[in-house]
Amino acid sequence: MSATDTHEPTRRDFLYIATGMAGAVGAGAFAWPFIDQMRPDASTLALASVEVDVTQLQPGMSLTLKWRGKPVFIRNRTPEEIEAAKAVPIAELKDPVARNNNLPADAPATDADRAAGEGKENWLIMVGVCTHLGCVPLGQAGDFGGWFCPCHGSHYDTAGRVRKGPAPENLLVPTFAFVSDTKVRIG
């Protein structure tokens, strides 16, 4: 046979192609349940982000909600709480890093870097899990007027920064954004 000769398809060629296609479809049908079970559950997807209306939170009030299986504290801080947090020098902090997922990893733990941002300094949003052993701290308690973990005695200030006790890090600030003046999306 030369390169210019053409080959007429035969019944055998058709059977090879049809068998190969049926095998591919069968393999796909067999593999699909294994692939499908790797997708996240619908309840997990629903918790990926949550929108919260903060209209009812007057200065000095807090709200605790559940996000990704963890408590999240939303606090509308009073001017006095903001001033108390601003007055703390970074050198006095146990953890000088902001731990704010909205900022670079090395951002300092100033009150401005822990709060919701310019124009919304009164809002503080944090994952409410003690960084020592994962307990849930009590709000508006402790030596610094912020949060207190009674399990092992960690004290957090009004910006959620660890100031005393065994906790090694500040409370985590999750990724969030205000979608309007009264609604915040977490996650």
Q: What is the pLDDT of residues 104-121, one digit of tens each?
A: 999 999 999 998 888 889
Percent of the chain with pLDDT over 90: 43
Contact 185, 65 (CB under 8 A): no
- pLDDT score at 107: 92
| 49 vs 58, more confident | 58
Q: What is the pLDDT of residue 33?
A: 86
pLDDT at 46 over 70: no
Chosen CATH of 46-186 out of 3.40.50.2300, 3.20.20.450, 2.102.10.10, 3.30.460.80:
2.102.10.10
Provide the token pair at 115: 């709060």
CA distances from 16 to 10, 26, 28, 34, 184 (A): 10, 15, 18, 28, 59
Q: State what percent of residues in the chain have pLDDT above 70.
A: 94
117-162 pLDDT, tens digit each: 888 899 999 998 988 888 888 888 889 889 999 888 899 999 999 9
Tell me the whole-structure pTM to 2 decimals: 0.72
Catalytic annotation present for 7: no
Integer Cα distance of 112 and 50 in angstroms: 24
What 3-state class would DSSP assign to 177?
A: strand
Exactly one of 7, 132, 152, 155 is catalytic; name it.
Answer: 152
pLDDT value at residue 44 = 66
pLDDT-based confidence at residue 81 (cuts at 50, 70, 90): very high
**Residues 84-102, mean pLDDT to the nearest whole number:** 91
CA atoms within 13 A on the CB side of 49: 11
